[in-house]
Amino acid sequence: MKGAGRFRHLSASWRLWAETFQALSRSPGAVIGGLLFVAIIAVSLGFPLLYPRDPLAQELLSRLIPPFWQEGGSLAYPLGTDNLGRDVLVRILYGSRVSLLVGFSAVLVASVAGIALGLISGYYGGRVDHFIMRLADVFMAYPFMLLTISVIAVLGNSIFNLILVLGLSDWVTYARTIRGSVLSIKKKEFVMAARSVGTPHRVILLRHVFPNVLSPILVLGTVRVANIIIWESGLSFLGMGVPPPMPTWGRMLAEGRVYIADAWWLVTLPGLAIMLTILSINLLGDGLRDALDPRLRNIPG
């Protein structure tokens, strides 16, 4: 009776989570990534309680103040100010909300679209499959940045449009991953067995196929969140992202670029924030992949 062990008393679906969590806690990378990620989310949600500042308030008399540890800096502006005298720390904190919101929502949009199309494509095959996969090829062949920029240019830049565009241009990865897993799952004998007792196709697809292809998507999702955050930063850098004046990491980079020789903190600190967030998510994703892997192999082949 492998895999049951000390979680035997739990109901089965909880046992799966408990086991995954246990496997995660054995990997130092995942623990560090996870803790960092939880900390980032906690700070991004809770900072107004501890550091209530207005990210838009300009103080033209205190422009380009360096961080507090550098000469000329003060604890009134722990991470300094930008060219308009706005507090860099609070802007970075606000930026984290935008990045995380866009990252997770876009992944949600992409995975819902990708999972649906991938399931249909892989399970029904034939012409439906051809159509969806060729559509995917078109999306793959089209430069993503160009697509995003043109759509944003037409629809106007709002955070909602951004999420939609980023999400819809990323469905292909999910659809292909899902389709591949479905192709192998649908050949399994238990699918044949389900059909032999007269289970309708759509029930087989949702009940028998879908749960068996879910774990790769969980891993893929975490990795893609990181990617989307980078894309969002890139688009904001180009002025195509979340509209001003809402502070985002990408736009902070773009605006700070001009002052890079005089005020290093304007580009370095938001850049560091991006890096830490991506790092934590990637570490967590890697750990999750390793933790879920035995379960993938648990499906007898």
Partner 1 sequence: MLSITDLVIGFHTPRGTIHAVDGVSLSLDEGEVLGVVGESGCGKSVLALSVLGLLPQPPAFVAGGKILFRDQDLLKLPGDAWRRLRGNAIGMIFQEPMTALNPVFTVGNQLMEVFRVHRNLGRAEALRESVEMLAKVGVPAPERRVKEYPYQLSGGMRQRVMIAMALACNPDLLLADEPTTALDVSIQAQILELMIALKEDMGTAIMLITHDLGVVAEMTQRVAVMYTGRIMEEASTVTLFDNPLHPYTLGLMGAIPRADATFETEALTEIQGVVPGLGNLPPGCHFAPRCPRVMDVCRTEVPPLVAVAPDHRVACWAVTHG
Binding residues for partner 1, rule: CB under 8 A, are 1-4, 12, 188-190, 192-200, 203, 207-208, 211-212, 298-301
- The residue (of 42 and 206) whose beta carbon lies closer to partner 1 is 206
Q: How far is the CB of 120 from partner 1 (least distance, A)?
A: 18
- The residue (of 71 and 189) whose beta carbon lies closer to partner 1 is 189
- The residue (of 245 and 300) whose beta carbon lies closer to partner 1 is 300
Q: How far is the CB of 3 from partner 1 (least distance, A)?
A: 7
Q: How far is the CB of 212 from partner 1 (least distance, A)?
A: 6
Q: How far is the CB of 197 from partner 1 (least distance, A)?
A: 3
- The residue (of 65 and 194) whose beta carbon lies closer to partner 1 is 194
Q: How far is the CB of 238 from partner 1 (least distance, A)?
A: 44
- Give the rounded distance of the alpha carbon of 126 from its chain centre: 32
Q: How far is the CB of 279 from partner 1 (least distance, A)?
A: 32
Rg (CA), the chain: 23
- The residue (of 3 and 72) whose beta carbon lies closer to partner 1 is 3
- The residue (of 156 and 300) whose beta carbon lies closer to partner 1 is 300
